[in-house]
Structure 1
Amino acid sequence: MNTRARTFAAAAVALLSCGIIIIYISHRMDEVYRIADRITILRDGRRLLTEPLGALSTEQIVEGIVGRAVDGALTYRERTPAARSEVLLDARGLTAGTRVRDVSFQLNAGEILGIAGLMGSGRTELARCLFGVDPLDSGEVRIRGRRVDITNPRKAIRAGLALIPEDRRAQGLVLEHSVRSNLLLPLLPSLRHGLVIDDRAGSALADSLIERFGIKVADRNRPVRLLSGGNQQKVVIAKWLGTQPNVLILDEPTAGVDIGTKSEILEVIRQLADDGKGVIVISSEYPELLAVSDRVLVLRDGRIARDLPRHDIPDEESLQLAVQGV
């Protein structure tokens, strides 16, 4: 069980001992099993069932939430090593203030590199440096052996990088704009003919991204703020994948989404790696991180403390101990 679940469980026990009734709303299975006595499953605004928690398996709960079976979403599937032979990204001595300190690593084509660490370890700051959001004090990045300029996001995009930010609402979306507009924001240069944007081509491209990523929206012109958290996250992922990046950096990609969307996002990550892309996944959700990562970097105080092949991490507890430096 992770630290968050332990904290909630301890608080729940204290409240219950005072005679307080708790209604706990969550799609985190470890917390639900630790805290709840009974469970009510809602789907599409309707109550599907109410049962004692012990009467239902995890698979039944997930199927009830999603409306279909989700098999093996959190199971690591080892892929062919030959697909990951080429060094795609080579980061050398990246330093930015005190949060990123002399970080060096390589990412191979077709590899999913997980990054784990406690809050303040430098995970998000590293992602922002790689995408040119925050300036580097020193160090360099090479793509397929060629040094690239990542001094701002536009240059990082040109170099073939894309970033799915940690906070989709504040950093990944323009909430008052439509789904269509959000999907097309990083793609406008490809739709421009002189000073004119090809509106018809833009609508067709938005529709194709909506269909490809299963974004549930009745009208592409609907404000993106009205979508569920999971569908908002799909919009953020879809718009950046539309730029055809070679390296995709995802910061907390499954935070705040239901387990159905979570499984879809993990499948997208696997498919990108299978297609030869390099993928960096930053997450505090260790089950998800272990489900997709081929290798995990552990950051501590802005430095790489451990570089662990996936087969050297037998379970979530082992990763927690590595992150805590035990």
Structure 2
Amino acid sequence: MKWIAPAFGGPEVLTLVEDEVRSPAAGEVTIDVRAAGVNPADYKHLAAARGPDRPLPLSIGYEVAGVISAVGPDTTIGSGGGLIGDTVVAFRISGGYASRVTVPAKDVFAKPDTLDYPAAANLLLAGTTAAEALHVTGVRAGDTVLVHGASGAVGVSVLQQARLIGATVVGTASEHNFAVVRGFGAEPVTYGPGLVDRVRAAAPRGVTAVIDTVGTDEALDSTVELLPDLGRAVTIAASERTRAAGVTAIAGALPDSAAFRDAVRPRLLALAAQGKLVVPVARTFPLEQAREALELVRTGHPGGKIALIP
């Protein structure tokens, strides 16, 4: 079974169909999916046509974790090997909202034993986005980074990766998520009036980089006030206001961001295997409830990642 979108729109356009998965060709493997990651990028993918490269129906889902059930001839997976029965993760792929997928072997890697299937299926999209944001802002040891939306999926990965670099992190969050932010080594501050003063109190030496994962007016206004060099600010939620202010949008920030994401995947998997990069999972849904799962991600604050379980 797999979910497709025969039209552009919201989660309601998703349609569950029976699909015969083709056998893998050279350079491909087939994965029996044990969990599929559910991401904001999925509903953005559904939202509107963006040119002739997006013919309908759309296949949905960029990352999965599962078990290899077939291997194409002369094929090894991205981390080497690749035998039937191996547990793996795959990213960036197309059509992950499925019970079985055939995908390029270069996008398939051994699953870290430290992560269960729902967590592994949610590691790489948020992780590569966080890594790219840290790279674009040039975060290094000794920096103080302000992360807007620190308790979200990308925010949590930024917290962990920034601390491994040796940076100090201050993260905005709702008070009920302060424990999450502290648990990943950052100092939490709440949203709302007085935010700039609270950040200054938490970072008396000043903020040297900002990563915005929420795209609110408050996030932009406080970034402009707190950061002397807006060349070290990046947002994953670009708007006309952020562009006018000179804040870099993560999309298109690197000449070849796809190549960067591809290159960073083995490092993120190694960190996860060492227990240095974890993925909080808030809830799982049966594959048949993909519309409900995506609607929760689109409209709510699930408090962690969401996975579909075939």
The answer to which structure has the higher helix fraction is 1
Could you say whether these structures have the same fold, taking a TM-score greater than 0.5 normalized by the shorter chain as the test?
Answer: no
TM-score, reference length from structure 2: 0.24
Larger radius of gyration: 1
TM-score, reference length from structure 1: 0.24
- Where relative contact order (Cα < 8 A, 6+ residues apart) is larger, the structure is 1
